[in-house]
Amino acid sequence: MRLPCAALLLTLALPALARPASAEVPQVVTDIPPVQALVLQVMGDLGAPALLLEKGADEHDFQLRPSQMRSLSQAGLVIWIGPELTPWLDRALRATPAPTLALLDAQGTQTRAFASGEGDDHGHGGLDPHAWLDPQNALIWLDLIAARLSELDPEHAARYAENAVGAKARIATMDSEIASLLAPVANQRFVTFHAAYGYFTTYYHLQGAASLALGDASAPGAARLSALAADLRAGHYACAFPEVQHDPALLTQVMQGSSTKLGPALDPVGSSLDFGPNAYDDLMRRLARSLHDCLQP
């Protein structure tokens, strides 16, 4: 016997009604290249997280475009370091409903305070936000990213976890290579443009680096420049490193009359490098190689 039309439609609809709706891969937005790289490694071919910081931009002082604000408002998850690094993103997130994962405040993240005087004009208070320069934090974050994505997209939880395991093995290999590269120059002292490298120097047991500028909010004062110039002329530092986002003229001026070598421009956030899943490894390896090549006797 043929079913009535209404009954037939209900019968055909029952299997679909009985099936639970599958969760979609969330649209992820990230703040800086190393964070995007870690998220890309966890997501694999499941998705491509957006990156807010543009080529060559300064992570501390950036102006979002309207299209980026729309991307934030539509995001299923925003993964970022935190307001200590990107106050411009903190202000933008207050106007959006997007869920967030602030890595600097996440459980397990190893943080450090700026050394005495480092953070006074940095705009960050006492907490150093450059925590991605410690590879142990990257390992912790990979698991946190996989867990948060799995909460939003449980259908692919196993993929996220598997990708995180592979990414951690990759970072462990990178870490071992960098440690071997830097060990011969660990006792050499150097100067950087600003105080961004404490996590890196602490983790790899390098001699503490002095900085030209305490932070990004103001230029160094005359007394600081004079003291640093005297230390350079006295031979206290083997190398001095400018940064890609800043004019090197002031650093080279302070170096006049010293035997300190001028190293290549460092890029602690990787905004000058190729973006993608390799960006974190490239940033760390390039930083290590730049230090090694200038500091070796």
* Model pLDDT for residues 147-174, shown as the tens digit of each residue: 999 999 999 999 999 999 999 999 999 9
User: Do 173 and 195 have their domain in common?
Assistant: no
Q: Do 243 and 192 meet the contact criterion of CB atoms below 8 Å apart?
A: yes
Of residues 293 and 207, more confidence is placed in: 293
CA distances from 93 to 37, 64, 78 (A): 21, 11, 9
Q: Which two tokens stand for residue 232?
A: 């350079």
- 27 exposed, middle or buried (CB, 10 Å; 0-12, 13-18, 19+)? middle
Which of 164, 179, 194 is at the close of a domain? Answer: 179
Helical (H) or strand (E) element with 127: strand 127-128
**What was the pLDDT predicted at 163?**
98
Domain boundary among 162, 179, 196: 179
Hey, what are 99's tokens?
Answer: 């869920």
**214 and 140 within one domain:** no
Based on the fold, state whether residues 155 and 218 are members of the same structural domain. Answer: no
Stated pTM of the model: 0.87
Residue 260 in domain? yes
Domain check: are 264 and 278 in the same one? Answer: yes
Q: Are residues 161 and 199 in the same domain?
A: no
Same-domain status, 36 and 173: yes
Q: Could you report the per-residue pLDDT of 209-239, keeping only the tens digit for each?
A: 888 876 554 567 888 899 999 999 999 999 9
Domain at 198, CATH number: 3.40.50.1980
Mean pLDDT computed over every residue of the chain: 88
- Residues 32 and 174 occupy one common structural domain: yes
| Domain match, 87 and 219 both | no
For residue 122, being part of any structural domain is answered with no
- 3 in any annotated domain: no
Q: Please check whether residue 85 lies inside any domain of the structure.
A: yes
Q: Which two tokens stand for residue 135?
A: 């590879």
| 13: in domain | no
Same domain, 250 and 158: no
Residues 104 and 233 in one domain: no
| 19 falls within a domain | no
Do 237 and 216 lie in one domain? The reply is yes
Domain membership flag for residue 226: yes
Span 19-40, average pLDDT: 84
Angle, CA 16 vertex, CA 13 and CA 21 arms, to 5°:
145
203 vs 208, residue with greater confidence: 203
Residue 4 is assigned to a structural domain of this protein: no
Range of the domain at 204: 184-295
Question: Among the three residues 146, 162, 179, which one is the final residue of a domain in this structure?
Answer: 179
Q: How many domains does the chain have?
A: 2
Q: What is the pLDDT of residues 264-282, one digit of tens each?
A: 999 999 999 999 999 999 9
The verdict on 174 and 271 lying in the same domain is no
